[in-house]
Amino acid sequence: LQLLIELGPVLVSTLGYSNPEVEAVYARARELGERSGGDLRQRFTVLSGLLLFHQSRAELALCVDLTRQRMAIARTLDDPDMEMLCHENFGTLAHWRGEMEESLVELRAALALYRPTGGRAIRLLYGTDVSVVSRTYEAQALMHLGHLDQARERARAAIDVGRSLGHFPSLALALTFGAGLHNAFGDGARGLALAEETHALATREHLAMWVASSVSQRVRALTLLGDPEVAIAAFFAGSAALQATGATIGGRFFVTGLADAYLAAGRADEGLTMFDGLLAGFSRCEDCFYDADVHRVRGSLLRATSGDPAVAEPHYREAISLARQHHNPLLELRAATP
């Protein structure tokens, strides 16, 4: 059981959260723990590993239940480091559900409990540093809520902490999301620089998930920089890496980025076919944080293929409505000014 607990984070870093081997290791560990009666700390660790797997598959309701179980264990043991990790998990899950205000509350609760020794112990067990992850997602929440200067500062802080720790999986996460933040602000040059740094780091350290994630950010940056054909080629050159991870969370985000590249390249007909085809593969995913932009992109594709702005209007209005439901002025503004 202990061997499997030690093996889990290594597989997460090298193969990605959603690789079947990760699920097999933690499922076997859960079986052994239940058979032996296992102590609560081991149970917490195994449930945490399963959370990583199911979150990467965008099975968020299950993840919330797993985190509630883990928080109960943390409070039974009166362990602030475990509570810290649970608050971080609640915060990231809220982000993927599009609940940015709730995400901020949970992430800040995690940061308030962070201490270097406990942070290191959690990092060794679960693969990423809580302070880096919390600052990274805090920046994303602030960005979507419209607090752009604060978002830039938190993203920069996450990268700085990741560098200071010398912990490569945590740094790769901060760099990838940092690239996404700058791309969202229209700064393709900075977005591309961070995406390229992520790719180099992740390739060197064999971090499969972050190799794949850097592809999506590179596509968006290249489109912003006026190279949509290069962006499309980059996506398909990296598609094997994306598929190999087995992850589906954030899939709609990846697809909308590619669709924007097709639009910019003047290939809307191809883009619409690709968009509808790829999007179908993520229909069961529970991460709705980017659904407003899905409708914005579909409207733009239909407008470009039909030449009729009226065809696009219902999709733009639906995008605005969804963005308002999620209190997301960033995506609302994008839908209102396509």
User: How far apart, in Å, are the Cα atoms of 53 and each of 15, 47, 63?
Assistant: 11, 10, 9
State the average pLDDT for the chain.
Answer: 93
**Long-range Cβ contact pairs of 30-33 (< 8 A, separation 24 or more):** 32/1, 32/4, 33/1
pLDDT of residue 203: 92
DSSP secondary structure string for all residues of 117-140? HHHHHHHHHHSS-HHHHHHHHHHH
| pLDDT for 135 beyond 90 | yes
- Token output for 325: 């439901």
Question: Tell me, what's the pLDDT at 20?
Answer: 85
How far, in Å, CA of 187 to CA of 15, rounded? Answer: 31
Percent of the chain with pLDDT over 70: 99
Task: Please identify which residue in the block is written with the tokens 């093996």.
Answer: 7
Confidence of residue 16 (pLDDT cuts 50, 70, 90): confident
- Worst-scoring range by mean pLDDT, 199-203, 235-239, 279-283? 235-239
3-7, 17-21, 25-29, 261-265: lowest mean pLDDT where?
A: 17-21
Mean pLDDT within 296-324: 96
Q: For residue 6, what pLDDT band results from cuts at 50, 70 and 90?
A: confident
pLDDT band at 118; cut points 50, 70, 90: confident
On the question of pLDDT at 134 being above 80, the answer is: yes
Report which of 149, 154, 144 is spatially closest to residue 333, judged by C-alpha positions: 144
pLDDT in tens, 313-337: 999 999 999 999 999 999 999 999 9
Element holding 262 (H helix, E strand): helix 251-264
Q: Is the pLDDT of residue 10 over 90?
A: no
151 close to 129: Cβ distance less than 8 angstroms: no
Q: Does residue 108 have a pLDDT over 80?
A: yes
The beta-carbon contacts of 221-224 under 8 Å, at least 24 apart in sequence, are 221/179, 221/182, 221/183, 221/188, 221/189, 221/191, 221/192, 221/195, 222/188, 222/192, 222/261, 223/188, 223/257, 223/260, 223/261, 223/264, 224/183, 224/186, 224/187, 224/188, 224/191
DSSP string, 194-260: HHHHHHHHHHHTT-HHHHHHHHHHHHHHHHHTT-HHHHHHHHHHSHHHHHHH---TTHHHHHHHHHH
pTM of the model: 0.92
* pLDDT for position 127: 77
- pLDDT value at 235 more than 80: yes
Q: Which residues contact 333 (CB under 8 A, 6 or more apart)?
A: none
What pLDDT score does 13 carry?
Answer: 73
Is pLDDT at 61 greater than 80 in this prediction? Answer: yes
Q: What is the mean pLDDT of residues 30-42?
A: 86
Q: For 186-210, what is the mean pLDDT? A: 94
pLDDT digits (tens, 9 = 90+) for 248-296: 899 899 999 999 999 999 999 999 999 999 999 888 899 999 999 999 9
